[in-house]
Amino acid sequence: MNYGMAEYMNPSSEPFDPLAFVATLPHLPGVYRHIDENNVVLYVGKARDLKKRVASYFQRTESLSPRIALMVSKVVRVDVTVTRTETEALLLENNLIKTLSPRYNILFRDDKSYPYLKMTAHAFPRMVYYRGAVDKKHQYFGPFPNGYAVKSSIKLLQKVFKLRTCDETVFRNRSRPCMLHQIGRCSAPCVGLISEKNYAQDVAASVQFLKGESDELLQSFQDKMMVAAAALDFEQAAQLRDKIAALSSMMASQAVESTGDDVDADIIAVASSDARYCVNLAMVRGGRHLGDKAFFPQHTQDCTAQDVVDAFVAQHYIDGVVPYVIVIDTMPSDEVLQALNDVAGRKLNWVKQPQTQRKIWLEMAQSNAQLALSRRMQEVGSAKVRTKDLVQVLQLEEFESDDELARLRVECFDISHHSGEATQASCVVYQHHAMQNAEYRRYNIKDVAAGDDYAAMRQVLMRRYEKVVSGEGVLPDVVLVDGGKGQITMAKEVFAELGLDEFLLVGVAKGEGRRVGLEQLIFADGRAAVKLGKLSPALMLIAQIRDEAHRFAITGMRAARAKVRNVSRLEEIEGVGAKRRAALLQRFGGITGVKSASVQDMIQVVGISEKLAQEIYKQLHDDVSAVDVGGE
């Protein structure tokens, strides 16, 4: 979408005169960006009238909240983009907020896409857990609030309709039914135990259930059972009876059922306490209440519930799926409602004072929002205590206020390998009183002697902080190294070469017998080592960060080792020489592609006979379970 008609920017070489700049602005809709002396965007806002809105920051400063007044005092430039409509302004504002994460905007962090249940386009369709972009080739049901809701639905459908979940390669190469068939969760179409016609009927029934047509489906089964019984087809009647019983049990176990306009609905409730907010989103899909998800926005000081709802609705629905009905306890502003109508291409059905079933849903969402906020405040309070204690132990005197404590950034490194094989290093990040999963990094360690952890640590620290020195990335306030004097000495050498302050470096040496609580902190700057004791909040936090680095390194090492071993296994197969191995790897893009290829796919490679393809498939899959439950 073409957002801008014109850009208005204050020349960076001239001192910023806000009133003179405002005089140049038009009375048109658009987006403005407040920018500080370091060229960092502090705040992104939209306006129906740019001239009036931007002027309000500089003409009536006494009416600003303390937080916004502080922000305005840091502004040295305002950039403005004029748009054709208010809807375009909202879209641009939303994109900029997600891209820039300004520290004075209300931010909802939700980096992961929502999962779907996917029914593949196949003669015998497969049910699978799915995240990502949807297409028209397959059928998608959702979105679901979390992965558990998808997997739970798959298990329910397996019990009643016995649809397959195995991947295509396993399906094409089965010679006997898998364990799921033996426990009554799959009808085994892979070996012909069900016809394509009957399987298609089960697929159609499961789709009907997912669309919320449970009552119609149940009545259909009952009618078919009576017909089968009248025709003395008692086996068919018994199968239908079992499906009716399982489906009835499934429907009874659901927390909430609904029909009609409420087949697809979102329920939004807001809870607040001490300037902290929780937005609880519950999802109803196909008439079934699938669960809920709590969101905790950042930068909500001096904000109202209206502000929080506007931010959530814009950030959540602008690029997402908007259901038929949205039940909410605090209505968004008129301009947000109109913009969403424009984006959706229809008038959305918002319900603020629901009745009957919708009222029950909203009350459940409000209760869950309060509970989630209470838990989060307890967790944040505990995490803040640990962070504060860590700051005191490490003598980081510049972190005194709550905002400064939240900005404390700790990076921790660990090395993992298996007898020197597939060495991996991990870097995990702690900030804002929580682990920042999106900033984790793994490093493949190369050209280092097997088992040389010192050299491996040297390599990862050099690779990580060379970029910081060159201006790429952020320098943390604390660097934790999992190891004792040897590791910290080596890390100190790296920091000296890069010209970085060794005060940042802290080693975590394991105690006697590697027992938790006996760890010792080793400082690179010569301060005396410290034993905190197992009751120390700072040690609890350090142990949490270190263990997360260890876990992240191990999972990476195992994946790398499995890849190496698969390549080795390919080399060991009789009849697969260097040329055929190279041809396979080139054709399928690596060992992962070869492992995913079917026998029929491999035959297409020059030099690979059907017999050899079968042997390659067998060798690469002899440790793979035939059961695929469609996990993440």
CATH number at residue 14: 3.40.1440.10
Within 13 A of 32's CA, how many CA atoms are on the CB side?
23
Rounded CA separation 94/316 (Å): 10
The one-letter amino acid code at 140 reads Y
Within 13 A of 141's CA, how many CA atoms are on the CB side?
27
pLDDT at position 630 is 31
| Residue 445, domain member (yes or no) | yes
pLDDT at position 44 is 93
Read off the tokens for 396: 């980081």
Rounded CA separation 506/491 (Å): 9
Contact 178, 166 (CB under 8 A): yes
User: What 8-state DSSP symbol labels residue 164?
Assistant: B
Sequence-distant (6+) residues with CB within 8 A of 91 are 1, 3, 318, 339, 343
| pLDDT above 80 for 118 | yes
Give yes or no: residues 410 and 538 share one domain.
yes
Among 242-251, 347-356, 370-379, 612-621, the minimum mean pLDDT is found in 242-251
| Residue 370, domain member (yes or no) | yes
pLDDT digits (tens, 9 = 90+) for 549-605: 888 888 765 655 555 555 556 666 777 877 887 888 777 766 777 777 788 878 888
- Residue 324's nearest CA partner among 350, 294, 304 is 350
161 vs 222 pLDDT, higher one: 161
Rounded CA separation 434/409 (Å): 10
Give yes or no: residues 342 and 362 share one domain.
yes
Q: Is 510 helix (H, G, I), strand (E, B) or coil?
A: coil
The CATH number covering residue 502 comes to: 3.30.420.340
- Give the mean model confidence (pLDDT) for residues 251-266: 55
pLDDT at position 631 is 31
Q: Model-level pTM?
A: 0.58
Give yes or no: residues 363 and 472 share one domain.
no
pLDDT digits (tens, 9 = 90+) for 203-256: 888 888 777 666 676 777 777 778 777 778 777 677 777 767 666 655 544 444
| Residue 209, domain member (yes or no) | yes
Confidence of residue 278 (pLDDT cuts 50, 70, 90): very high
* Average pLDDT for the chain: 80
The full DSSP string for 571-607 is: HHSTT--HHHHHHHHHHHTSHHHHHH--HHHHHTSTT
Give yes or no: residues 79 and 164 share one domain.
no
The set of long-range contacts for 95-100, using a CB threshold of 8 Å and a minimum separation of 24, is: 96/31, 96/33, 96/41, 96/44, 97/44, 97/315, 98/315, 100/41, 100/44
| Residue 237, domain member (yes or no) | yes
Rounded CA separation 204/217 (Å): 10
What's the first-to-final CA gap in the chain, in angstroms? 33
Rounded CA separation 78/7 (Å): 11
| Residue 609, domain member (yes or no) | no
**Cα R_g (the chain), whole angstroms:** 30
- Segments of 449-599 assigned E as strands: 478-482, 505-509, 520-523, 530-531
Number of domains comprising the chain: 4
Last residue of a domain, one of 375, 391, 411: 375
Give yes or no: residues 424 and 555 share one domain.
yes
Furthest-apart CA atoms within the chain: distance in Å: 93
User: What are φ and ψ of residue 318, in 5° steps?
Assistant: -55, -45
Rounded CA separation 630/632 (Å): 7
Q: Are strands 349-351 and 325-328 parallel, antiparallel or unpaired?
A: parallel
Q: Are strands 410-418 and 288-295 parallel, antiparallel or unpaired?
A: unpaired
**Count helices and strands in the chain by DSSP H and E runs:** 21, 20
Within 13 A of 284's CA, how many CA atoms are on the CB side?
30
> For a pLDDT cut of 70, what percent of the chain falls above it?
84
Give yes or no: residues 11 and 65 share one domain.
yes
Give yes or no: residues 555 and 409 share one domain.
yes
Last residue of a domain, one of 54, 75, 100: 100
| Residue 570, domain member (yes or no) | no
Give yes or no: residues 131 and 173 share one domain.
yes
| pLDDT above 80 for 499 | yes
Count CB atoms within 10 A of the CB of residue 159: 15
| pLDDT above 70 for 79 | yes
Confidence of residue 537 (pLDDT cuts 50, 70, 90): confident
| pLDDT above 60 for 626 | no
Contact 302, 66 (CB under 8 A): yes
273: containing domain: 262-375
| pLDDT above 70 for 401 | yes
- Give the mean model confidence (pLDDT) for residues 314-334: 84
Last residue of a domain, one of 202, 220, 253: 253
pLDDT digits (tens, 9 = 90+) for 409-460: 999 998 876 555 557 888 999 998 888 888 888 888 787 776 678 888 899 8
Write down the residue that tokens 């105690």 correspond to. Answer: 511
Read off the tokens for 182: 């033996």
Count CB atoms within 10 A of the CB of residue 395: 9
| pLDDT above 70 for 521 | yes
CA angle centred on 64, ends 58 and 66, rounded to 5°: 120
Q: Is 491 exposed, middle or buried (0-12, 13-18, 19+ CB in 10 A)?
A: buried
Q: Is 275 exposed, middle or buried (0-12, 13-18, 19+ CB in 10 A)?
A: exposed
Give yes or no: residues 88 and 121 share one domain.
no
pLDDT at position 1 is 43
| Residue 385, domain member (yes or no) | no
Give yes or no: residues 124 and 195 share one domain.
yes
Give yes or no: residues 296 and 242 share one domain.
no
| Residue 136, domain member (yes or no) | yes
Give yes or no: residues 468 and 543 share one domain.
yes
Among 13-22, 269-278, 455-464, the minimum mean pLDDT is found in 13-22
Q: Any bridge partners for residue 269, and if so which?
A: 280
